[in-house]
Amino acid sequence: MTDEFDDKRPNPRLKAIFMEILDNQLRDSNPKETKETFQRLVMMGIAEHEVRRLLALVIASETFDIMKREEHFNHARFVERLNLLPEMPWMDEEEE
């Protein structure tokens, strides 16, 4: 029996939560930059399912930073990461 936290595969419950957050952000245009980034990436020719995955990773990363640093949502950091997509250089930083 393996510990749930030792498994390197994505947690389907967490994935569902981040996708729901993404759906809410896209529906409500809040923050508006999420929808703008979605449209930009689709216009670049990236498949919608991949765009959704990338956006969910930004949401997950911001959530991780909020919990790790015990701080509030950082809109500027979130938008900066959206603007970098489809590249994700901050993911390398988090692995250190």
The predicted-structure confidence for 35-55, as pLDDT tens digits, reads as follows 999 999 999 999 999 999 999
Judged against a pLDDT cut of 50, whether residue 19 lies above it is answered with yes
Q: What is the DSSP letter of 88?
A: -
Name the 3-class secondary structure at 8: coil
Instruction: Give the model confidence (pLDDT) of 61-96 as tens digits.
Output: 999 999 999 999 999 999 999 999 999 887 776 554
What pLDDT band is residue 32 in, cutting at 50, 70 and 90? very high
Residue type at 29 in one-letter notation: S
Residues 6+ apart with CB under 8 A from 80: none
pTM confidence score: 0.84
